[in-house]
């Protein structure tokens, strides 16, 4: 089955009018969520170090580093914004496979600053990029992942190539080449989890996919059967390959509709416990001092993946369900601030952390939890979280996503800019030129900010 050519053909002949309204809306939600992640971590040391390393080699100032003042050529902008997308592990997650936005949107937003792109074109290219990367990823999933590949990098590069190729107007043969050039750059090892290279993966995927599309637009050739051939992507990197997944039901369903957003700045598996603590805190106005103990019944994955009893840093706090529950109860939130070094060391929180227990129960799903809080006055409060906030069963609302965006960007952008970006995303498909997004997503110069306040 000639799936590379078939996919290329589907990508090229797709029209914006084919994309359902619900998918367009989901694209705008994903864009806002992604912008928040990239802007919010733009001053992270991972981003600082990558930028310091490559800035001396950047080309013309074609595209913004989101959340910062620097402008780079579009390839380097895609790299750096791809890294910042994923640094906090707060970006979106497809229900079954990869982080869809981080490898694709950095390429598109950079390209859109270089070649005028409307909101509708952006939405269209993004939806197709997600379709390509998820379908290719799912065609080899989970065996490919179990081999040790970080699928957000290895499949993400196809998404970036397909999306950028769509914006560049590639013909079917060029699109097949773009997919092939992507395939032969596909990379990213799970061994990098816990190091800065985890974020490098979507950054390189965005940059390499964009490069693939640019090369193909100049008729740089590759195999036209790069995905399915005996020595192509699928068979070289996975013990199983189901080519039908790549083409079946094309245009009838959209992978973007399986997209999930994280309300909490840590691994998905802890979310239900956090969710329950916040629900009980808010419903019963619980003061931390009044708590005798917090008892969690959770999936066995929870203590296995996040069982750190005494986290020593903010990062370790993300791998401690005890810290997450305590911080959620004290602050009523679990954003980056709750996973800072300061919060992990806060005596009020560490005292409460010691009163948290997590009982594994094989009957409980990974986004489910039973949370019981025993108060010193003898009362016992309980809640069953069947599906954590942010799952497909209980998605974050548009208002939730806008609040998350505002929280992530508050330390970087002026309030007026935050509102402006939210407004632009609400109105995304009507925008004539989406470069305004990137222009608004950088801190205003001091002078300009001063002007606003005088």
Nearer to a second copy, 52 or 342 (CB): 52
Query: Judged by CB under 8 A, does residue 70 bind a second copy?
Result: no
Nearer to a second copy, 186 or 367 (CB): 186
Residues constituting the chain: 454
- In the bound complex, what is the minimum distance in angstroms from residue 44's beta carbon to a second copy? 12
d(CA 351, CA 348): 5
Asked if residues 232 and 223 have their Cβ atoms less than 8 Å apart, the reply is yes
Retrieve residue 103's tokens.
Answer: 């490898």
Nearer to a second copy, 187 or 381 (CB): 187
- Measured in whole angstroms, the distance separating CA 326 from the mean position of its chain's CA atoms is 26
Query: Judged by CB under 8 A, does residue 261 bind a second copy?
Result: no
Asked if residues 175 and 214 have their Cβ atoms less than 8 Å apart, the reply is no
Query: Judged by CB under 8 A, does residue 186 bind a second copy?
Result: yes
Query: Which residue's structure tokens are 């002078």?
Result: 447
Nearer to a second copy, 10 or 225 (CB): 225
Query: Judged by CB under 8 A, does residue 263 bind a second copy?
Result: no
| Residues whose CB is less than 8 angstroms from the CB of residue 124 and which lie 6 or more positions away in sequence, other chains included | 14, 16, 19, 166
Binding string, 204-223, against a second copy, x = CB under 8 A? x------x--xx-xxxxxxx
Query: Judged by CB under 8 A, does residue 226 bind a second copy?
Result: yes
- In the bound complex, what is the minimum distance in angstroms from residue 91's beta carbon to a second copy? 19
Asked if residues 153 and 202 have their Cβ atoms less than 8 Å apart, the reply is yes
**Among the listed residues 9, 25, 192, 305, the single contact to a second copy using CB under 8 A:** 192
- In the bound complex, what is the minimum distance in angstroms from residue 120's beta carbon to a second copy? 25
Query: Judged by CB under 8 A, does residue 305 bind a second copy?
Result: no
d(CA 435, CA 186): 28
b/e for 8-25, b at 16 or more Cβ within 10 A? bbbbbebeeeebeeebbb
- Measured in whole angstroms, the distance separating CA 389 from the mean position of its chain's CA atoms is 16
**Among the listed residues 107, 183, 327, 435, the single contact to a second copy using CB under 8 A:** 183
Task: Please give the DSSP secondary-structure letter assigned to residue 173.
Answer: H
Asked if residues 115 and 62 have their Cβ atoms less than 8 Å apart, the reply is no
**Among the listed residues 8, 122, 163, 197, the single contact to a second copy using CB under 8 A:** 197
Asked if residues 59 and 71 have their Cβ atoms less than 8 Å apart, the reply is no
Binding string, 387-426, against a second copy, x = CB under 8 A? ----------------------------------------
Chain positions contacting a second copy, by CB under 8 A: 46, 49-50, 52-54, 56-60, 62, 73-76, 147-150, 153, 180-181, 183-192, 194-197, 200-201, 204, 211, 214-215, 217-223, 225-226, 229-233, 235-236
């Amino acid at each position: 089955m000639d799936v590379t050519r078939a996919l290329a053909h589907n990508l090229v002949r797709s029209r914006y009018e084919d994309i359902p309204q619900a998918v367009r809306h989901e694209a705008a939600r994903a864009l806002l969520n992604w912008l928040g992640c990239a802007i919010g971590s733009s001053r992270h040391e991972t981003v600082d170090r990558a930028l310091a390393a490559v800035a001396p080699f950047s080309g013309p100032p074609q595209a913004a580093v989101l959340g910062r003042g620097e402008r780079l050529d579009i390839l380097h902008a895609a790299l750096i914004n791809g890294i910042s997308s994923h640094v906090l592990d707060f970006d979106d997650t497809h229900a079954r496979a990869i982080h869809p936005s981080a490898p694709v949107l950095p390429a598109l937003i950079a390209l859109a600053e270089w070649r005028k792109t409307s909101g509708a074109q952006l939405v269209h290219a993004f939806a197709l990029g997600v379709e390509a990367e998820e379908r290719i990823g799912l065609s080899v999933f989970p065996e490919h992942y179990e081999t040790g590949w970080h699928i957000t990098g290895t499949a993400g590069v196809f998404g970036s190539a397909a999306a950028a190729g769509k914006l560049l107007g590639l013909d079917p043969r060029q699109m097949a080449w773009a997919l092939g050039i992507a395939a032969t750059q596909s990379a990213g090892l799970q061994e990098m989890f816990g190091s800065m290279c985890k974020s490098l993966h979507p950054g390189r995927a965005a940059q390499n996919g964009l490069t693939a599309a640019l090369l193909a637009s100049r008729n740089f050739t590759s195999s036209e059967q790069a995905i399915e051939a005996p020595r192509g992507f699928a068979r070289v990197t996975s013990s199983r390959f189901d080519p039908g997944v790549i083409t079946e039901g094309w245009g009838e369903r959209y992978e973007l509709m399986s997209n999930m957003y994280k309300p909490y700045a840590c691994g998905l598996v802890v979310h239900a416990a956090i969710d329950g603590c916040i629900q009980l805190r808010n419903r019963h106005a619980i003061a931390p001092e009044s708590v005798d103990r917090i008892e969690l019944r959770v999936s066995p994955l929870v203590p296995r993946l996040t069982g750190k009893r005494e986290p020593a840093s903010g990062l370790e706090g993300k791998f401690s369900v005890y810290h997450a529950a305590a911080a959620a109860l004290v602050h009523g939130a679990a954003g980056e601030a709750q996973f800072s070094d300061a919060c992990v060391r806060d005596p009020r929180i560490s005292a409460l952390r010691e009163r948290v227990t997590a009982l594994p129960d094989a009957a409980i799903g990974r986004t489910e939890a039973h949370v019981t809080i025993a108060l010193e006055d003898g009362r016992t409060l309980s809640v069953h979280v069947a599906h954590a906030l942010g799952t497909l069963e209980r998605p974050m609302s548009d208002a939730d996503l806008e609040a998350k965006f505002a929280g992530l960007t508050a330390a970087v952008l002026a309030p007026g800019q935050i509102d402006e970006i939210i407004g632009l995303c609400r109105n995304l498909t009507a925008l004539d030129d989406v470069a305004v997004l990137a222009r608004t997503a950088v801190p205003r110069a001091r002078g300009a900010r001063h002007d606003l306040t005088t």
